Structure 1
Amino acid sequence: MADVRVTYDNTANAAYIYLTQPQVCVRAAYMYACDPVDVDGMINLDFDEQGRLIGIEVLAASSKLPEYLLRRAEQLDVEGA
């Protein structure tokens, strides 16, 4: 299985799942907001200029993603950072 970078901000309860190579910086060309009613929350999909999915933002992440994933994610809201 490929390594996937995941960041998590506990204060905002928001996670981001990067679907690009770690050493490559890709900018999102457009974002698609999933219907919050259909997914019972807010999930945004980021796409590059070629229409490839490059990342997933998950708000209210603690209710949408497995706990082990959030524990292993790169923590963005570490005190003193």
Structure 2
Amino acid sequence: MKISYDEKYDTMYIKLIDEPVECRTLQLSEDVALNIGPNEKLVGIEILDAKQVIGHGKVPSVVLDNLKQAVA
């Protein structure tokens, strides 16, 4: 999983699948869209105006809770 934030455009993208796949977009609201891949698998989440939508007016913070670090 990869979480990217673009400060210039105030957008956040949460990429759940690393491999490139063809997706369709399901618009949940004006600011939130889901990218759905084959077999209805969630590939990613796009959030526009991220400071307001999930950051309460600030750059959103990310907290990883109860995840064990993968060994490479």
CA contact (8 A) 1:43 1:59 kept: yes
Q: Which amino acid aligns with 2:43?
A: I
Aligned to 1:27: 21
- CA deviation after TM superposition for structure 1 residue 28, in Å: 3.6
Counting only pairs closer than 5 Å after superposition, residues 40-51 of structure 1 correspond to structure 2 as 42-51=31-40
Moved over 6 A (4+): none
CA contact (8 A) 1:30 1:48 kept: yes
Aligned length: 58
Partners of 1:25 and 1:64 in 2: CA distance: 27
CA contact (8 A) 1:5 1:18 kept: yes
TM-score by length of 2: 0.68
Sequence identity percentage = 21
Deviation per residue, 1:21-54 (Å, 9 max, x gap): xxx3232420001133xxxxx1010011211111
Query: Alignment partner of 1:50: what SS?
Result: helix
TM-score by length of 1: 0.62
Aligned to 2:15: 18
Aligned to 2:6: 9
Query: Alignment partner of 1:8: what SS?
Result: strand
